[in-house]
Amino acid sequence: MLYSALALAAAGLCLIVAYMSAKLLFKNSWILGWLRGMFGLALLALAVIFAFVALDIFSYRQIVKEQVIATISFEKIAEQEFKAVLADNAGNEQEYRLRGDQWQLDARIIKWKGPVTKLGVQPGYRLDRISGRYFSLEKERQSERSIYSFNESKFGVDVWQWLRQIKETLPIIDAIYGSATYLPMADGALFEVSLSGTGLVTRPLNDFARDAVGLWE
């Protein structure tokens, strides 16, 4: 997997830099000891950054073709309040309490451009957050919102945000936001979310979901 390989490369750089910093810090010489110490500590800090970069990249998965990345089911708890159960394509399940009438799932997508795509390098993705919203604009402004983030980047090391900031100077890569269209929440409804290189697609899987979508359209 490309993104696993990138993560391993960053982890390898972390080990190399950490070794260099340790060698400088513990070398038996005092002539330039303070400078070596400062430089060694700087290298050690760089090693820590590489470690967090590796962890952040490792959270992304490769998009080989359009694939189902999650299913989500709903159970009504109260008026305009639902329990949502999100299951990813690895079989992991998480429960969330969403308020409102509609839900949306967002993902971060890293797309490659230009000559890199000719090498067969595929985009990568990471699920970012799930949220609910009210159909009424007044309630949307005044009522409590529910937004849950997944896979938050550690200690401010966010590779995707870095790529968004430098995409004008790095024409071979693009960091974009993919969002499923807002769809209604309904008791017993089940949806699947698919992802391709162009974004997210959501489909109802049972009659409860299809009926809910039909009422909103």
Q: Are 34 and 90 members of one domain?
A: no
> pLDDT tens digit string along 86-125?
998 888 899 999 999 999 998 887 776 766 666 666 777 7
> pLDDT tens digit string along 150-181?
876 666 677 767 766 766 666 666 666 666 67
Closest to 133 (Cα-Cα) out of 107, 105, 101, 106: 101
Q: Are 41 and 117 members of one domain?
A: no
- For residues 81 and 66, give the distance between their C-alpha atoms in angstroms, rounded to a whole number: 31
- Contact of 202 with 133, CB cutoff 8 Å: no
The predicted model gives 20-36 an average pLDDT of: 61
CA distance to 7, 71, 108, 139, per residue, from 13 (Å): 10, 37, 25, 50
Looking at 10, 31, 58, the residue that finishes a domain is 58
Q: Are 74 and 39 members of one domain?
A: no
Work out how many domains the chain is built from and give that number: 2
- Contact of 74 with 187, CB cutoff 8 Å: yes
Q: Are 23 and 104 members of one domain?
A: no
pLDDT given at position 108: 80
- For residues 182 and 175, give the distance between their C-alpha atoms in angstroms, rounded to a whole number: 22
Q: Are 120 and 21 members of one domain?
A: no
Range of the domain at 126: 62-216
